Amino acid sequence: MAEYVRNLWYMAAWEHEVPDGGMLSRRLLDKAWLIHRLDSGDYAMLEDRCPHRFVALSMGSKRGDVIHCRYHGLGFGPDGRCVHSPFPETPPEHVRAATMPVVARHRGLWFWPGDPALADPALIPDFAFLDRDEPLTRGHMTMKGNYELVTDNLMDLTHAEFIHIETFGVNGSLFESGVQAVQQDPDGAIWNKWTMTDARAPDWAKPMLGEGQRVDQKLHMRWHAPASLALLIAMGKAGTDYAEQVIPEMISPHIITPETQDTSHYFYEHEATEQARAMAMQVFVEEDEPMIAAAHDGLAGQDFWDARPAILKTDAGAIRCRRALMQLRRREAGEAA
């Protein structure tokens, strides 16, 4: 399996997932980590394994900013150093739990698995839209499949015409009148923009529209390495430049972080209603995940490129992301060598 790119910000969790006065234990990039909130309001992230006899620190207890191992009582501070020992001797300086830089930003907790000296929070992708003060549900699930296959799925929305027929209701309009554009932002973001002009309206929108009223639509997906995505959608009456809205422009996170090479964390958002939750679960669990898991099973451990995938024009965005990630990977391998 391809190495993880290290000098990047990945999302570990939503802030609200860290329990008050407690710890969140989560497998990230194949290793167990724990996150806890410090008295200062900042967060600390420690490898979830005691450097003494290797049991999970999250089986222990948190007292103030110190995590105490359940097995022999050693206590570790936010920087991973052993700051408490029940033994008469002073614990040696080198007894340290591994740590990673972690920053709370845009309701998420972002970690940097590479060189801490390079961990500039300004490099966290812009998810400022998550800061808006609306009562939305911000959820987390794990999905079977390598995170790059989840990116493929998100960066090529033509699959909506096949597996999201009921939920997205694009009804063929993506193929009829869709125009695809792949663009890159100065910060490295890659956009895959589908725009449908003067298209047939989806069935569910017809009651809101006059008979035969046609629409303009945007389905714009944005990617930041490694796999932090955002989807911007909008629908307006055709020819009004979205002034006469059917769906106002809205943007939602699809932030993916590798749990392992075979499984992915998926961070998403939806309206805080049971109906919206059910819709999200249908899309993610019943429609997307079976395809992503089947692609993962189809590869059966084979490298994506070694499997010589067919590349269609509609894959342009997805492939550009894969190439960008590969360049980052090669650069890090080069620096290491």
Chain residues in the site for a copy of itself (CB under 8 A) = 32, 49-56, 59, 70-74, 82, 85-89, 91-92, 94-95, 149, 152, 156, 158-159, 161-163, 175, 290-291, 294-295, 297-299, 307-310, 312-314
Is the CB of residue 84 less than 8 Å from the CB of residue 61?
no
The residue among 94 and 211 lying less far from a copy of itself, judged by its C-beta, is: 94
The residue among 195 and 213 lying less far from a copy of itself, judged by its C-beta, is: 195
- The token pair at 29 is 């990039």
CB of 87 to a copy of itself, least distance (A): 6
Scored b (16 or more CB within 10 A) or e, 262-277 reads bbbbbbbbbeeeeeee
CB of 60 to a copy of itself, least distance (A): 9
The residue among 141 and 291 lying less far from a copy of itself, judged by its C-beta, is: 291
CB of 321 to a copy of itself, least distance (A): 14
Q: Give the C-alpha distances (Å, rounded to integers) separating 240 from 141, 237, 256, 310.
A: 38, 6, 35, 38
The residue among 56 and 182 lying less far from a copy of itself, judged by its C-beta, is: 56
CB of 77 to a copy of itself, least distance (A): 15
| Of 189, 186, 193, 261, residue with least CA distance to 229 | 189
Gap between the Cα atoms of 57 and 34, Å rounded: 8
CB of 169 to a copy of itself, least distance (A): 16
The residue among 173 and 189 lying less far from a copy of itself, judged by its C-beta, is: 173
| Of 28, 91, 84, residue with least CA distance to 61 | 84
| Of 58, 70, 73, 49, residue with least CA distance to 22 | 58
CB of 68 to a copy of itself, least distance (A): 9
The residue among 31 and 138 lying less far from a copy of itself, judged by its C-beta, is: 31
| Of 272, 267, 273, 235, residue with least CA distance to 252 | 267
